[in-house]
Amino acid sequence: MKVQRAGLLLPVFAALLFGLPARGTALDFNDHEPDIPSHAAALVARMSDEEALAQTFMLGWVGAVPSPLILDWIRDRHIGGVKIFGWNTEDTTKLAETVGALQREALRGPLGIPLLVATDQEGGWIRHVKGATSETPGNMAIGASGRPMDAYWSGYYIGRELAILGINMNFAPAVDVYTNQDSVIIGPRSFGSDPTQVGILGAAFMKGQHAAGIIATAKHYPGHGDTDLDSHGVLPQINASFEQLWERELLPYRLLTKEGLKAVMSGHLAFPHTQAGLVPASLSSWFLQDLLRDKIGFEGLIITDDLMMNGATMSAGSLSQAAKEALLAGNDIIMLSKTPRLYDPIWTRLVEAMREEPFFRDRVRDAARRIVALKLSSLRGEKTAPWIPDLRQVALGLPDSEGAAFFLNLAARSVTAVKGMRQGPDGVFPLRAEAAGKVLLAGQYEDFFTIGKLAYPGAMGYWYDPEGGTELVRYAKDADTIIFCLSHAEGLPFLQSLRPLGKRVIVLSVLNPVHLDKASWVDGALAVYSYARESFVAGFSVILGRLPAEGTLPVPVLP
């Protein structure tokens, strides 16, 4: 029997992966549903220790085309997965060609097992696959709309674009509960501050991803929302008790697990008031085995956040030791943003441990079985991402035209009035162009100025730069109305400089609305949650009164 997938004939893969005896006639894939655990176990039993270990590796590479080194890891080591980062993705056609080239190398391996091809396409602020893909309003906009169907369709349309490119795993949804308002790493990546709402919306996003043929991965377990530190550079310590974790950070994982979650990303985060102490959750068997698997009941894959982040290596002492501890703790896949050399200690030390430590060997083979089982269940069939992308579909399907209409509607539903909707003499919205007088637009995004000048023809524009001086006040003195785009805390001093002028000041907040706490003096404030063009269209439409402000703040903000 020969099975054809995206133009590639794969008789060996069909024989081994789709359920054949070791020697004999191939069964037709459509004849029956294979016993996935048994077939996964049989495949891993055929692997050498090195081949089983290689399945636990997910590697990134630098550049728009595959490096010789990543090809060596696929061709010679038969690794289980690759991770696509933003530096790989400006040209989506080239990215699709790259995915196809990597999969062809993997499918030529002795067992012909395809790669997990993963990326971070959360929507909104975090969009690693750029090029022709959609810019979207993001998770906090979904939280502002409050509608699970908005989460579902966001996951679905994001997933459908990824599937066209041959990407079969997405490190999303981020189900971090937004607890610390000083967070610079989570912010608008969160659905909000209510754990139940985060869990419901995260589960809906996951279901949409699955419907698009993408393996959803909840992150950053157990939760990155209660720290203002970034685990890329340090190991954040979160002073939460187990009881707080159970009812807050872990609630989304409990909900998603019951709804069929297939993968979790473990975060490099320490919780000193728990049994794990100062050991990062990503290297802690208490967090991964005792809590996630045994208590919560999660049975899918556990994948580390990038092990090259300091939050992991600072604790373990070296990258190779962090990799070993991660696997022993219960991770099934160790993810690295860069490609190590073939005989780097991260490989040689783990191979040595496979030979000398029976417990480690069994743990790695158990991880390999989980990985192969997920590939059997999620990388086959008509509703899964193709192994070899069809470049014609890439040209026709990106950006997704149905998705574009949906994301514009989501942006409109999520606009949130924080201050100034007309309910008395102090109301400022709607503000028609003829009533605004001379308008100054102050911001940092081209689409803000483009859409703002369509809304207010003749408006002046001033691009403020937090790194340098400002002439904002001089321009503002000649204006009747200043519409100020606020996206980061660095913009607050510029906004504050307008206060003594006595002008009408309106803030259009993008990304994280918490900075509006320090702008209660302004005449009007609206929140949108991304710098996508659709969000600016929706925001200015509400300012002009063409749309109602239907969103609800997903995080506490003082009016």
Catalytic residues: 232, 305
The rounded Cα 153 to chain-centroid distance in angstroms is 15
Residue type, 498: L
Mapped onto helix, strand or coil, the DSSP state of residue 478 is coil
Residue type, 17: L
Q: Give the burial string for 4-28 (b: 16+ CB within 10 Å, else e).
A: ebeeeebebbbbbbbbbeeeeebbe
Q: Where are the beta strands (DSSP E) in 229-333?
A: 263-266, 301-304
What one-character DSSP code corresponds to residue 187? G
Residue 5 CB contacts under 8 Å (≥ 6 apart), including other chains: 386, 387, 388
- DSSP secondary structure, 495-542, as one string: HHTTGGGT-EEEEEE-S-GGGGGG-TTSSEEEE----SHHHHHHHHHH
- Is there a contact between 58 and 360 (Cβ–Cβ < 8 Å)? no
Q: What are phi and psi of 68, to 5 degrees?
A: -55, -30
Residue type, 226: D
Nearest alpha-carbon partner for 539 in 461, 443, 466, 465: 443
Nearest alpha-carbon partner for 59 in 43, 71, 50, 47: 71
Angstrom distance (rounded) from CA 208 to CA 545:
33
Angstrom distance (rounded) from CA 452 to CA 210:
38
- Report which secondary-structure segment, H or E, holds 407: helix 401-414
- Is there a contact between 238 and 207 (Cβ–Cβ < 8 Å)? no
Q: What tokens were used for 394?
A: 């890439």
Angstrom distance (rounded) from CA 36 to CA 4:
21
Angstrom distance (rounded) from CA 401 to CA 143:
23
Mapped onto helix, strand or coil, the DSSP state of residue 360 is helix
Largest CA distance in the chain: 85
